[in-house]
Amino acid sequence: MKKDFVSIADQTPEEIQSILDLSIRLKKEWKSGGNPPLLQKKVMGMIFQKPSLRTRVSFDMAMRHLGGDALYLSPNEIGLGQRESVADVARVLAGYVDVIMARVFAHEHILELARWADVPVVNGLSDYDHPCQAMADAMTIQEEFGNLKGLNITFVGDGNNVATSLLQIVAKLGGNFTIATPAGYEIKPAAIQQAQSFAKVSGSQLNFIQDPHAAVKGAKVIYTDTWTSMGQEAETQERLKVFPPYQVNSQLVAEADADAIVMHCLPAHRGQELTDEVADGSHSRIFPQAHNRLHAQKGILVRVFGKG
């Protein structure tokens, strides 16, 4: 049976932790001279509906580090669901490559690719969630603090796809998750309900509030993201009126734990959700976090092929 990586919610806590440990080991191997060619002769087809720096380069380089190759497919080349049905794209592409990674708008397109492709499908991002980002996030937190169990992790800003996957992975691994969002910009209720069921098993404490200052009290991790995600450009002006109280600045960071770290999945709109002073300051881990996308994705790819 093929292994997809579509959502954090689909993975058991043991599977998530195993991939994290594998990713950290692969990172150490690479730093010590290189990874073994675990994916030699394997090719990944990369479907992109949205532009990307980190997702494209990190997946491409992950395959190269492991002895494989990657093929970039631009939006104009495929027209997923428009020029050709998702089901047909999945079945055709699965005959050419060994794994499919897709970065899309509609989450349903990821689900359809996974349904119809007989090779593994990896969710490189959808409007609903961003599981590969969450793996790099958890890896970064684990490297900093040892593990997520009982750790206070706070997200400040829009309850978007990144927040959804972070909520899921923290709830799965037993961390405490707090999110402060303006009214009307919360994480989707279905995702919250699902995470609450994970928390009952792990002992995670979940808090959904509006006050960013209350949210960061005792936080070891402060996480933020852009106020306007791709596909929401028409809302930009309205969001710029709503979100300024949620800016992660030096004052807000000072209200958290003294050794708190600040994270952002990038790209950052400096001066909006995050100030330069914080982004480039001693609490920031945004660039190690970005670099961990490479190694977390190696762990995911090795695992979907059953090689590690």
Query: So which residues are the catalytic ones?
Result: 103, 130, 133, 225, 265, 293
Question: What are phi and psi for residue 78, nearest 5 degrees?
Answer: -110, -50
CA–CA separation, 72 and 76 (whole Å): 12
CA–CA separation, 101 and 113 (whole Å): 10
| Strand duo 43-48 + 69-73: pairing | parallel
CA–CA separation, 231 and 224 (whole Å): 18
Neighbours of 166 (CB within 10 A): 31
CA–CA separation, 54 and 294 (whole Å): 8
Q: Which residues lie closer than 8 Å to 262 by C-beta, 6 or more apart?
A: 221, 222, 223, 224, 248, 253, 274, 278, 279, 281, 283, 284, 285, 286
CA–CA separation, 63 and 69 (whole Å): 5
- In Å, how far from its chain's centre is CA 60? 17
Q: How far is CA 185 from CA 158, 207, 226, in A?
A: 6, 15, 13
Neighbours of 276 (CB within 10 A): 11
Is the CB of residue 19 less than 8 Å from the CB of residue 5?
no
CA–CA separation, 264 and 282 (whole Å): 14
CA–CA separation, 102 and 124 (whole Å): 5
